[in-house]
């Protein structure tokens, strides 16, 4: 039986989320790190409000969880003249062109989640492999670690329910950076209640 919870993607909100993140981190950032901030914002919102911000489809890939639409949107904006473009003479950095961003789609809790991601992970993203390695401590990716050790090119669909799993507090990826996980641990009862609420939210948003 397929127990995957699916939400409808809001493409416009996905693009605007990336722009808001860039705006809040001074307009320039590594694009892989930017996608990790989006992941942490979604993770926070799901664990606290039982729905993602954008409804993107997440895959576990060798460099961590990846929101597929938002990844593609960065590449397409750069190619077709959107509000995010590659930084000249930089292989991976992107920059925000215009700060006139549509924020009308975002709720107060959406912005709360975005701020959580930036406040707790934004500095780590300045060295991209630090934030990538931090995502490897979270169960959404960590459960597939051995798979990627065998096949670096593989990818696995992440179930939104896995965003409710707790990271191991003393995970070696945390220890390497002397990092304390800011996510409040959820009990089995918390997860059960949130899963039921997510199913209801998916009917409304997905």
Mean pLDDT across the stretch 177-191? Answer: 98
**Structural domain includes residue 17:** yes
Residue of 206 and 64 predicted with greater confidence: 64
d(CA 38, CA 27): 15
Strands (E), the chain: 28-30, 58-61, 64-67, 84-86, 93-96, 156-157
For the segment 6-35, the average pLDDT, to the nearest whole number, is 95
* Mean pLDDT, the chain, integer: 93
Question: Is residue 63 in some structural domain?
Answer: yes
- What is the tally of structural domains in the chain? 1
Residue 4 covered by a domain: no
Three-state DSSP class for residue 4? coil
Q: What is the structure's pLDDT at 206? A: 59
In the predicted structure, residue 114 carries a pLDDT above the cut 70: yes
Per-residue confidence at 102, pLDDT binned at 50, 70, 90? Answer: confident
Name the β-bridge partners of 60: 65, 156
Overall average pLDDT of the 153-167 stretch: 94
- Model confidence band, residue 150 (pLDDT cutoffs 50, 70, 90): confident
Q: Which domain holds residue 120?
A: 11-205
DSSP state of 91: S
Confidence (pLDDT) at 1:
42
Angle at the Cα of 55 (from 49 to 60), degrees rounded to 5? 100
Indicate the pLDDT class of residue 125, thresholds 50, 70 and 90.
very high
Res 52 pLDDT > 50: yes
Q: Sorting pLDDT into bands at 50, 70 and 90, what band is 10?
A: very high
């Amino acid at each position: 039986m397929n127990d995957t919870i699916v939400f409808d993607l809001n493409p416009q909100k996905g693009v605007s989320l990336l722009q808001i993140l860039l705006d809040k981190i001074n307009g320039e950032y590594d694009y892989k790190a930017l996608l990790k901030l989006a992941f942490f914002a979604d993770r926070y919102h799901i664990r606290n409000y039982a729905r993602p911000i954008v409804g993107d489809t997440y895959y576990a890939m060798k460099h961590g969880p990846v929101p597929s639409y938002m990844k593609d949107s960065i590449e397409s904006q750069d190619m077709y003249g959107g509000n995010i473009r590659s930084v000249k003479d930089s292989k991976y950095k992107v920059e925000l062109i215009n700060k006139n961003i549509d924020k009308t789609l975002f709720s107060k809790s959406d912005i709360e989640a975005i701020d959580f991601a930036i406040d707790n992970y934004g500095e780590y993203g300045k060295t991209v492999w630090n934030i990538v390695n931090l995502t490897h401590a979270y169960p959404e990716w960590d459960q597939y670690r051995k798979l990627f050790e065998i096949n670096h090119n593989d990818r696995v669909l992440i179930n939104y329910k896995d965003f409710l799993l707790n990271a191991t507090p003393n995970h070696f990826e945390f220890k390497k950076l002397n990092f304390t996980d800011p996510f409040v641990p959820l009990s089995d009862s918390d997860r059960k209640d949130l899963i039921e609420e997510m199913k209801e939210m998916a009917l409304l948003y997905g």
